[in-house]
Amino acid sequence: MDPKETAVVLIEFQNEFAHPSGKNYPGVKDVLASNQTIPHSQDLMARARAKGCSILHVPIAYAPGYPELPEDAYGIGCVVKQTETFVKGTFGAEIIDEMKPQPGDIVIEGKRGLDAFASTNIDFILRQRGIKYVAIAGFLTNVCVESTMRSAYEKGFRVYTMTDCTAALSKEIQQFTVEVNFPIYSCPMTHEEFLAQLGA
């Protein structure tokens, strides 16, 4: 796997999920701890960057008042509005210190839903950079990670999902998604297994 043709896509490593004061942190903290999600993701990001991979950060954020969402939003959109999470300019919407973008990284803007491809220019950026291989990490395992994984698969990228760099709202959900859904649309593996496949 040529690092120059490889991108690491980091989904929603934001304070709402990954900082103890984040509103969604209580829901994922058990999986964060058991999976060692943040340390593993830091290691993935740093070593992939050093090898020459493209590093893409994909946060989600809404304007105050959520004008991007309908008044009668349902599903995850309703939950976001009710919990008042991921508002632009707030602490909760910021990328956590451990995963801050570095010079040369790309921050994808415009994510408003589950699939990182749906409302952003990530597909354009990946293709402009000649990317063939996409490794995905982040939150939530069975929601935005899985949605993005499916789209990347359908768009013809070779997709790798980092089993130890993701987190869900329970260990049961994490295990089911990784063992049952991930293999359908990707090559699931640990970040160490992925890094071992990268060229020098």
Could you tell me the CATH number of the domain that includes residue 128? Answer: 3.40.50.850
pLDDT averaged over consecutive 10-residue blocks of the chain (200 residues)? 97 98 96 97 98 98 95 93 95 98 97 96 98 98 98 98 98 97 97 91
156 domain-assigned: yes
pLDDT value of residue 200: 62
**Range 170-175, long-range pairs (CB < 8 A, 24+ positions):** 170/30, 170/31, 171/30, 171/31, 171/34, 173/141, 173/142, 174/31, 174/35, 174/141, 174/142
CA–CA distance, 48 with 137 (Å, rounded to integer):
13
Q: What is the CA radius of gyration of the chain?
A: 16
pLDDT value of residue 113: 93
Q: List pLDDT tens digits, range 76-93.
A: 999 999 999 999 999 999
* pTM for this prediction: 0.96
67 domain-assigned: yes
Neighbours of 68 (CB within 10 A): 14
153 domain-assigned: yes
The total domain count for the chain is 1
Asked whether the beta carbons of 114 and 76 are under 8 A apart, the reply is yes
1 domain-assigned: no
93 domain-assigned: yes
Q: Which two tokens stand for residue 169?
A: 């709202």
CA–CA distance, 18 with 21 (Å, rounded to integer):
9
Task: Give the domain range for residue 33.
Answer: 7-197
pLDDT value of residue 181: 96
2 domain-assigned: no
132 domain-assigned: yes
pLDDT value of residue 63: 96
Residue of 98, 114, 75, 72 lying closest to 15 (CA atoms): 98
Residue of 55, 60, 57 lying closest to 110 (CA atoms): 60
pLDDT value of residue 199: 77
145 domain-assigned: yes
Q: Which two tokens stand for residue 1?
A: 């796997």
